Amino acid sequence: MALVSYAQAAQQALALEMQQHDDVVLMGEDIGRGGVFGQYAGLQANYGVQRVMDTPISEAAIVGVAVGMALTGTRPVVELRVMDFALCAIDEIVNQAAKNRFMFGGQGRVPVVMRMPIGVWTGSAAQHSQSLESWFVHVPGLVVVAPATPLDNHVLLRAALRSGDPVVYLEHKELWASQQEVTGWPEQVSDAELGAAKVRREGSDVTLVAWSRALTQCLEAADTLNAQGVSAEVIDLRTLWPWDKGRVMRSVEKTGRLLVVHEAVQVAGLGAEIVATLAAHATTRGKALHRMGAPRVPVAYSPALEPLARLHSQAIVKRVNEIIQSPPLV
């Protein structure tokens, strides 16, 4: 048993993959000194500057070079510091990495992992606190992954490196210091499957679906709801595309109610896609299907305003109680 942080889990995943596979290379700003959150600590010292490469401050150049390297036989891991900065490389991500395999009949593959830390980052304001996962879920050709726990940040990062396709890999900026006890670390840790959700808590009255840091709020809300006599099943989606439709549908068939919770802005968010998919499915049609996300406002720098853009477990509890108390659908 070992106590592992979210950042350490990712660092260990990269260390193991680099040890086992010479084609894994790392690229990004300041990763030689360990990265902003320590997620690359010690890797340049162990594997050298040719495999752990500090880059200029140009996201378009970083991703563009990585796409070319991937097409010629390497498996680059690209560090974009925060998701907000990935917008500077949107053409390389959307029009080059995502489309190459399709446009050239599968002759080339782009096995690049693009790490884009998401979410509200305390005191960092609107340009450093975005959750834009729905943008990338919308793009054909991209796999989108969002680990919520240290263990998942280890096993899903390794799975992403082995997928053979471009992966948008979303780690929450305020999860890096979170810790988890892991049995058999790291040698006996089982591999993960992309596209498989996990039930983090069993329940019978309502299904809560979340990913990344929103999972924490949902689990806290489930504890409060349980004390009120409401049994909430909590599902961690883990992979946003492909997402585990079967696991979510089976849960909603059992509970009859769904609330999808995400830190991203609610308008046009992934929650809408999940609700729409279930609403169109015969086994879940007629169930109570709802979503909950952030308001359509930029994240403020002001300490008095920033909490208004955050998810809180109390708000989830309030919304679930409204769903539970509403008349059943007919």
| Nearest of 68, 65, 79 to residue 27 by alpha carbon | 79
Paired tokens of 127? 């340009």
Whether residue 1 contacts residue 33, with contact meaning beta carbons closer than 8 Å, is answered with: no
Q: Which residues lie below 8 Å from residue 87, measured CB to CB, with a gap of 6+?
A: 132
Query: How far apart, in whole angstroms, are the C-alpha atoms of residue 168 and residue 114?
Result: 5
Query: How far apart, in whole angstroms, are the C-alpha atoms of residue 174 and residue 41?
Result: 18
Question: Which secondary-structure segment (H or E) carries 93?
Answer: none
Query: How far apart, in whole angstroms, are the C-alpha atoms of residue 221 and residue 261?
Result: 11
| Residue 157 Cα distances to 33, 149, 163, 170, 262, angstroms | 21, 12, 10, 10, 21
Alpha helix ranges (H) inside 280-328:
313-325
| Nearest of 179, 271, 268 to residue 218 by alpha carbon | 271
SS3 at position 53: strand
- Residue 279 burial (CB count, 10 A): 13
| Nearest of 77, 47, 215, 81 to residue 158 by alpha carbon | 77
- In single-letter form, the type of residue at position 160 comes to A
Paired tokens of 101? 């395999």
Whether residue 111 contacts residue 164, with contact meaning beta carbons closer than 8 Å, is answered with: yes
- Residues with catalytic roles: 128
Question: Which secondary-structure segment (H or E) carries 59?
Answer: helix 59-71
